[in-house]
Structure 1
């Protein structure tokens, strides 16, 4: 019902706009036609006036010249002088006025030639000082009369043509003068009728909208109440209560959502119970690994020491090499167990947030893991912010100790810098060590992946995995920028 009403109103608006545009176009056409015909009539009058002016000025110039010839008084030459200045401008205006009328333009070209001819005739007659025979003067006067007669004939033709145009344009002007008020009146009536119809439709639509708004307000209140129940369930789930249920049996989308959420809480309750059991088993494994596995390792290590002490005089160099290799393997196995325990504990212990001065933290870490022959440079702008101190300390400890461990050049230079990256701080730990080839940039963060010989006890391949796991728990990221022989830079982000 709503869409039908909207469609009717849209169609009504379209028709109304169409009719208004048509009436506006008709009014514009009528008014514009009236203006055009009025300008055409004025244009005709201007042409007639200019042609008559040219003829009158030329006639005055002829009469003045004849008066000068009869009396010798130069005062009679004033019309001739005025004609010399006025006629070129008048002919120029006539040329502009008749640019759209080729027939009149041709007549005006002929008129201009006659005017120039008349001036060529009159000019010698105005120069009294020059000797001229009576017969020559009479010839010029006869020619002057014939030229002026041709001018009058041409003027008559021009005037007749313009009067014919004037009659046509006056008739069209009368038509537009009568049609324009009628068109404007019809347009106004149509516009009023359309506006009245639209107002009635809008009033009806507003009444329907008020009724629908009342219905929607009731529906929104009910939906808000049901959404509040869903929000309350979500809050309780966030707090760890997975036994909460929603009592909404309405068969609609919200009712279906409520049923789905009820099933979700049942699934979450079962899943978290199973997860809690797995965590307990993992804790038990950690306990066994830290006690039951490490105790035999210590016993084997002790036995090896006893053999070295008791049979020191009887051991061959080859046997001593074997015993040293055994001690290295046992030490590496113990480091692997400790690393696995540290990796498993990441994210499973609750850490308190505290205010951390990163510059002071780096000094403390440097004192622990950076040897005296290494130089640790801490860049400016180290922040002080509230975060989990232990995790950040462990990240810096592992990165700096790795840089020292894999340096292989003796004394070295380490640098730690920081940049503000919006909601994160971006730290960079840079060394001048041997560097890491690009093909190993991703592998070094995997468990048990190391670039050193497996026989080296210190290389367990767990340190960077622990660093990545800690940073992932903080929703940060870590990457390495390095090339062989150019040192390595570890860049990680830490949330503010």
Structure 2
């Protein structure tokens, strides 16, 4: 398994730090051992020195007391006086030094008892009384010699034990004295080797990364060039050129994408050629519908009018009713043909942008479709902007015409307002007519859908479909807010 560069460097650092910690621990252990053994050796020397001091002071006290007994001079009692102050402190230091050695502590207890016994013997001799007989003094002196002999014997044992301990500690001290420099040297050498190895490893990884970056830069430049070709193709397709091709023979994902895009442009070229042909056929159909279909309609309408004019006296009321229904059907059929033609042409004719004063535009539309008995209120925030005048005029014409056409009273009130909606203007056309039930809010925008009786002449069901198609062509939206009996508000957005 190949590790990442960061992982390798981290692993190398961790290994180096681990080995350095081990070598540092070994060096610390060696130096610490040397320090401990040196302290132990010094401790042994202190014990020997204190024991020898106790023995020497006790011996001086004995000699001074004997000198005093021989000469009577109190100067000889000075060692005894000094011993009474020095020996308790020396014994206390020895007790502290041998607290970790039970056997030596037992010997020290015996030594303390002998010292106390020696003081009990020497004290009467330093205070000579006339009542002490020569024999009693001789007995004390003999006891003193024996006590001092026991002290020397105990001293010898203590010294032997400490010397054996000293030899053992000195041997360990020698071992640590020899091992410590070696451990420190080995640790230093290992630290240098690890550092050098780690630096070389990092340098190799960095060199490999530089080579990889150079390779990636070359690949990135090539990929950028090929993507630029794809972008150029996409821009040309957006502009309507479907004959463009990409020359990319690489067998990778981008090469496969280039082949797919070439196939797509080829398919689009064929599809748009077929679509152009269909549009031409639709234009031809519109021409036929506007001339060949409307001409017979006008002929039939004319014949009906002739019948009414020439046979006016002979027509019964029932016959006049039939003729009126026929004229209504013919008028509705003509409106239906005109609406279909308008719907088919939405988005297929060129949109000429011009400056439009919406307030003025609404005045023109109102003059055409709003009767005098209706009131129209136009809000104060109507904009003036550059847009497709004809398309916006068709939208307002259809909405206002529908509001008038489907009003349930003879007169009504219409209101138009405008607001901001980001990159769009939001217009609202509100009436006070019969309203539209919520279940029909989506249905009314479908072709041939009307809420009135189909026999009503003016209800073709195409007007709102045309409005929605025009607004969709301009990337806007339209919806209705209404309830039964509460009027209707048509809200649509138009790009600024």
Normalised-by-shorter TM-score class:
0.5 to 0.7
Distance 1:419 1:7 in 2: 60
1:405 positional shift: 0.8
Is 1:9 paired with 2:5? no
| C-alpha distance 199-371 of structure 1, shift in aligned 2 (>3 A) | farther
Per-residue deviation, 1:207: 2.3
Alignment of 1:65-464 (within 5 A): 201-464=201-464
Distance 1:405 1:212, change over 3 A: same
Deviation (angstroms), 1:417: 1.2
**Partner Cα separation in structure 2 for residue 470 and residue 199 of structure 1:** 72
Instruction: For 2:284 and 2:243, locate their aligned partners in 1 and report how far apart those are by CA, in whole Å.
Output: 28
CA apart distance, 1:275: 0.4
* Alpha-carbon distance in structure 2 between the residues aligned to 1:418 and 1:195: 76
In the alignment of these two chains, the number of paired residues is 335
**Displacement after TM superposition at 1:9 (Å):** 2.8
Q: Cα RMSD over matched residues?
A: 3.0
Determine the C-alpha separation between the residues in 2 that align with 1:375 and 1:11. 85
Per-residue displacement from partner, 1:143-179 (whole Å, max 9, x unpaired)? xxxxxxxxxxxxxxxxxxxxxxxxxxxxxxxxxxxxx
For residue 489 of structure 2, what is the aligned residue in structure 1? 489
**Which residue is equivalent to 1:44?**
none
Deviation at 1:228, TM superposition (A): 2.1
User: What is the CA–CA distance in structure 2 between the aligned matches of 1:191 and 1:392, rounded to whole Å?
Assistant: 84
**Contiguous gaps of at least 5 residues in structure 2:** 24-187
Answer yes or no: is 1:475 the counterpart of 2:454. no
Taking the aligned partners of 1:426 and 1:316, their CA distance within structure 2 comes to 55
Displacement after TM superposition at 1:378 (Å): 1.3
SS at match of 1:480: strand
Name 2:138's counterpart in structure 1: none
- CA separation in 1, counterparts of 2:190 and 2:367? 93
Q: Which runs of 5+ in 1 are unaligned?
A: 24-187
In the aligned structure 1, how far is the partner of 2:22 from the partner of 2:396?
A: 79
Could you tell me how far 1:193 is from its partner in structure 2? 9.5
1:19, 1:314 → 2: CA distance? 126
- What residue number does 1:32 align with? none
How far the C-alpha of 1:19 sits from its partner, in A, is 9.7
Deviation at 1:18, TM superposition (A): 8.9
SS in structure 2 at match of 1:351:
coil
How far apart in 2 are the matches of 1:17 and 1:296? 102
How has the CA–CA distance of structure 1 residues 419 and 18 changed in structure 2, closer, same or farther, with 3 Å as cutoff? Answer: farther
Mapped to 1, the partners of 2:378 and 2:21 lie a distance apart of: 76
Secondary structure in 1 aligned to 2:407? coil
Shift, 1:192, TM fit: 10
Query: In the superposition, relative to structure 1, how do residues 18 and 413 fare at CA in structure 2: closer, same or farther (>3 Å)?
Result: farther
Cα distance 1:334–1:15, how it changes in 2: closer, same or farther (>3 A)? farther
Superposition deviation, residue 213 in structure 1: 1.7
The CA deviation string for residues 399-433 of structure 1, in whole angstroms up to 9 with x for no partner, is 11111111121221111111211122111111111
CA shift, 1:204, in A, is 3.6
Provide closer, same or farther for how the CA distance between residues 422 and 315 of structure 1 changes in structure 2, counting only shifts above 3 A.
Answer: same
Distance change (3 Å), C-alpha of 1:456 and 1:258: same
Cα offset, 1:321, TM superposition: 0.1
Alpha-carbon distance in structure 1 between the residues aligned to 2:384 and 2:405: 29
Mark the structure with the bigger radius of gyration: 2
**TM-score calculated relative to the size of structure 2:** 0.62
